A and B are shown apart, each in its own frame.
Chain A
Amino acid sequence: AQSVTQLGSHVSVSEGALVLLRCNYSSSVPPYLFWYVQYPNQGLQLLLKYTTGATLVKGINGFEAEFKKSETSFHLTKPSAHMSDAAEYFCAVSVDSGGSNYKLTFGKGTLLTVNP
């Protein structure tokens, strides 16, 4: 079974500061990893994904994440926070079995607050 731990339920940064949201996973087989963002009263929007290949993944809105197998981590970063980045962020893990796309297992989420 897979699991995800997001360290820090609430992260607060100043506008223009570095954003770092932490995610650690557990999986007995090579994982697929995802970051999603959820704005109030909305569904989830895919920010980026790691499946295979390059371990540094670039996503939308200037976000990127690095897959570190030795640390079982997939932390999300953005060099400079914007007010519009304030939202809830979810890390998720999945595994691919026989070319089929199975369930996503989510972390509990990290609420990002951006202060002016």
Chain B
Amino acid sequence: DAGVTQSPTHLIKTRGQQVTLRCSPKSGHDTVSWYQQALGQGPQFIFQYYEEEERQRGNFPDRFSGHQFPNYSSELNVNALLLGDSALYLCASSLRSGAQYFGAGTRLSVL
């Protein structure tokens, strides 16, 4: 049974560019959450998707947007990249009120 998979594993972009990160949830899970983990910090909640709708959002600007597809997979989009967006982006999936299971993450470097 495949766990949570994220792509790509690493990404290098320059300031001002746009990026799309992808996540496939664990089989049977219907909820996807995205987190940003800066170096040396704990993960920070970006937003959560359920039934293709954003259900809750953390303290992140509108440059961060997402989408959930009918098969429950999800994308995270970041526009107008800043140097400070460099981080590990983690996707977690869950089944409604169950525990969240994380993927290995996408390491984004903004130059």
- Residues on A close to B: CB < 8 A? 34, 36, 42-46, 49, 90, 92, 96, 99-109
Question: In angstroms, how far is the closest chain A Cβ from the Cβ of B71?
Answer: 19
Q: Please measure, in the bound complex, the distance between the C-alpha atom of A100 and the C-alpha atom of B97, giving whole angstroms.
A: 5
Instruction: Indicate which residue in A99, A101, A108 contacts B94 across the interface (CB closer than 8 Å).
Output: A101
CB distance from A97 to the nearest CB of B (A): 9
A-B contact count (CB 8 A): 61
Residues of chain A contacted by B43 (CB below 8 angstroms): 44, 90, 104, 106
* Dominant SS among interface residues on chain A: strand
Complex contacts, A34 vs chain B, CB 8 Å: 99
Given contacts A44-B102, A46-B102, list 20 more A-B pairs with CB under 8 A.
Answer: A42-B105, A43-B103, A43-B104, A44-B92, A46-B100, A49-B99, A92-B42, A100-B97, A101-B31, A101-B94, A102-B48, A102-B56, A104-B33, A104-B43, A104-B45, A104-B92, A104-B100, A108-B41, A108-B42, A109-B42
* Cross-chain contact B102 with A45 (CB below 8 angstroms): yes
- Alpha-carbon separation in the docked complex, A99 to B4 (Å): 22
Q: Kindly list chain B residues whose C-beta atoms are within 8 Å of the C-beta of A106.
A: 42-44
A66 to B101, CA, bound (A): 21
Q: Which residues of chain B in 11-63 are interfacial with respect to chain A, using CB atoms and an 8 Å cutoff?
A: 31, 33, 35, 41-45, 48, 50, 55-56, 58
Bitwise, B61-78 to A at CB < 8 A (1) or not (0) is 000000000000000000
From A42, A46, A105, give the contact of B101 (CB < 8 A): A46
- Residues in A with CB closer than 8 Å to B105 are 42-43
Among B48, B50, B58, chain A packs the most CB atoms within 10 A around the CB of: B48
Task: Given the known inter-chain contacts A90-B43, A96-B97, please indicate yes or no for A103 contacting B102, CB distance below 8 A.
Answer: no
